[in-house]
Structure 1
């Protein structure tokens, strides 16, 4: 089982997409992005929230690209109505709604103007959620990481990862079986690793919530090592802890 991002092997699912945005220019850009991806198809693109809700309830939509600020109903109102009937990626120019959106289990939150590579990462995150992983088979999920030489790869099981630390152009995977240095970008990894199994709590650290034992002040203890919790990541991390999301 693999997860996709640069040197990771992609797994893709077919999705029927609805673009709900009252700004035609923004909607047209999103449609052009969708049309570039063979595993995606456009069901409809409009600012008509009622058409979107109807198609979602009828089971005609797999993935909704949802703008937040619209004249009839807000994107948050739409989330309340449709529940978990389809996957949702929020698209907006306003960052203030990010946390509220994640409370409704949205897949991702895209800030306008949206770059195509960022769009792809959000879609891959949505598709990755459909990969079946049985609780007793979690150890079978793994990454193949580029090593320090050409054609050299390290196989690292997700189950074994304690935390990941940024080392400028490289990252260090600290695992139960030793450390692995790989040419990676921490921000890209944060987007590609399955959530909430992995959580970025600092600009230099991603932790495995499976191995989280204690949170004390501004530190999280992972397998006996205290990792700092960055100020800009603190609120969302503690919100996740308080809602028990890491225990799902």
Structure 2
């Protein structure tokens, strides 16, 4: 059973979330508040496993509130504005619910909280499979793009920006290459140069210090610093000759 707290300045949103929590057998509502200041006191003095946190609130925004609780509880963000998703996940929000919230989507987020909170052997149901996509901000103000990991050929770092390259498209986003590398599944992606990450499944050939891709004319340089680790990762797939 997860103890929950709702923080939202709209009574209608509080009522909906309260109803959803009552319908979910592994959630228990400990309280609701429209005041982030009051919420801090509740979290400090009670055991709260999960907070449903609105982003747009008076006094303190939800994004400013999250660092104040210092990881003492898990957070699911609730908002009518999709443009804050990336920032929310950077602050380690467990999930991001867009208003109006459907119960099916709420339950999916709640199950994620349950699976993250208890041992695998005691889970209410199996954990969700690993995420296979991300949302990134683009150069256009207020616009976000969904990028499927399976579509990525390679990623190029360009000072403060990243270029995420697929067979059909190029998405430019304001991200640090190290931060994105940590979000990508390690079994699919590998850093091969200080400025490049490649999708291992999309590699067609390795020619000297160049990595070539299937159905793509572009190539990526293989940096000396990353060369040994790269070939070590490919060793189990390698047959004949010497690298």
Structure 1 length-normalised TM: 0.56
* Rg comparison, structure with higher value: 2
Q: 1:53 to 1:130 in 2, by over 3 A?
A: same
CA contact (8 A) 2:3 2:47 kept: yes
* Residue 81 (1) aligns with residue 68 (2): yes
Q: Separation in 1 of the partners of 2:42 and 2:178?
A: 34
Which position in structure 2 is the counterpart of 1:102? 89
Matches within 5 A, 1:57-206: 57-130=44-117, 132=119, 192-195=128-131, 198-200=132-134, 205-206=148-149
Contact 2:81 2:98 in 1 (8 A): yes
Residue 129 of structure 1 aligns to a residue whose secondary structure is helix
**Partner Cα separation in structure 1 for residue 49 and residue 118 of structure 2:** 15
Structure 1 residue 61: Cα displacement? 0.7
**Cα gap change, 1:214 to 1:93, in 2 (>3 Å):** closer
Query: How far off its partner does 1:206 sit?
Result: 4.2
Q: How many aligned positions are there?
A: 165
Structure 1: any 5+ residue segments left out of the alignment?
Answer: 1-13, 134-143, 145-190, 221-226
In structure 2, the partner of 1:167 is: none
Q: Give the corresponding residue for 1:215.
A: 155
Greater relative contact order structure (CA < 8 Å, 6+ sep) = 1
Give the structure-2-normalised TM-score: 0.57
Q: For residues 37-75 of structure 1, give each alpha carbon's deviation from its aligned partner in whole angstroms, at most 9, with x where no partner exists.
A: 110000101202122112222352100000011112111
Report the equivalent of 1:43: 30
Cα pair 1:16 1:60 within 8 Å, conserved: yes
Alpha carbons of structure 1 residues 102 and 204: separation in structure 2 relative to 1, 3 Å: closer
Q: Secondary structure at the match of 1:106?
A: coil
Bigger shift: residues 199-208 or 14-23: 199-208
- Cα distance in 2 for partners of 1:246, 1:102 equals 10
Other structure's SS at 1:22 match: coil
CA contact (8 A) 2:7 2:52 kept: yes
Mapped to 2, the partners of 1:63 and 1:51 lie a distance apart of 16
Q: Superposition RMSD on alpha carbons, in Å?
A: 3.4
Partner Cα distance (1:239, 1:199) in 2: 17
